[in-house]
Amino acid sequence: MRPERYFVRSRPQRERQACGRLSLRGVSALSPHTRQFLVEKGRRTERKSQPILPGYIVAKMEPVQFPVLREVEDVSPRPLMAGGEARPLKPVERAYIGQLVRKPPADPRDPFADPKNPLAPPRKKPDPNRPPFRQGQEVKVVKAGAFFGFSAAVEELKRTGKKWKAKVAVMIFGRPTPLDLDATDLVAA
């Protein structure tokens, strides 16, 4: 007989421990969890994960393995019943569980890349005032009085309020001279 997937009740907040204990007994089990993120001052930090199906795990086993459930702590002694019999997951339920445990997106820094995902943290909009150049890039001074027309290398970009400041190194007499300028005074070379 082929192993089927069954819902098994577990103690809430103990789903992962129950999965580990079942796997020690030879039963494949999973408890899909979400990742929640906390956004602090523009920095995203991972808080903790919560089960998508609190109080339940999905176990893949044969009916002859049901007595194993009695031996395992934190789970009910039998799978969910329908009409007095253990009922394996329906194809629709299996597809839903498959979507929950699907592989994460390719970008490891953004596990919730899907914009339609209601569990995803809010995305930050790009700053419209951000200058079109980056650190290390060559720029040309266009408004800074005595340094008009000089080429420079961007050493640092800082945001002050709504404006961006750039620390650049201008070559004067063969030496790099540091200057602090508004980003609006520069254009990419």
Q: What is the mean pLDDT of residues 147-153?
A: 90
Mean of all residue pLDDT scores within the chain:
80
- Region label for 149, one of left (φ > 0), alpha (ψ between -120 and 50) or beta (otherwise): left
Residue 168 has pLDDT above 90, yes or no: yes
Residue 38 has pLDDT above 70, yes or no: no
- Domain 138-188 annotated CATH 2.30.30.30: yes
Residue 130 has pLDDT above 50, yes or no: yes
Which numeric CATH code is attached to 4-100?
3.30.70.940
Q: What is the secondary structure of 111-175 as a DSSP string?
A: TT--TT-TTSPPPPPPPTTS-S--TT-EEEESSSGGGTT-EEEEEEEEEETTEEEEEEEEEETTE
Q: What is the mean pLDDT of residues 45-55?
A: 74
If one compares 24 and 81, the residue with the highest pLDDT of the two is: 24
Whether the full predicted model's pTM is greater than 0.85, yes or no, is no
If one compares 137 and 38, the residue with the highest pLDDT of the two is: 137
If one compares 17 and 105, the residue with the highest pLDDT of the two is: 17
Residue 74 token pair = 């934190």
Give the C-alpha separation, 93 to 79, whole Å: 15
The residue ranges of every structural domain in the chain are: 4-100, 138-188
Strand order in the sheet with 28-30: 4-9, 56-61, 28-30
Give the C-alpha separation, 175 to 109, whole Å: 40
If one compares 175 and 119, the residue with the highest pLDDT of the two is: 175
pLDDT bin (cut points 50, 70, 90) of residue 123 is: low
Tens digits of residue pLDDT in 59-105? 888 888 888 888 888 888 888 877 677 888 888 888 877 777 664 44
pLDDT bin (cut points 50, 70, 90) of residue 169 is: very high
Residue 47 has pLDDT above 80, yes or no: no
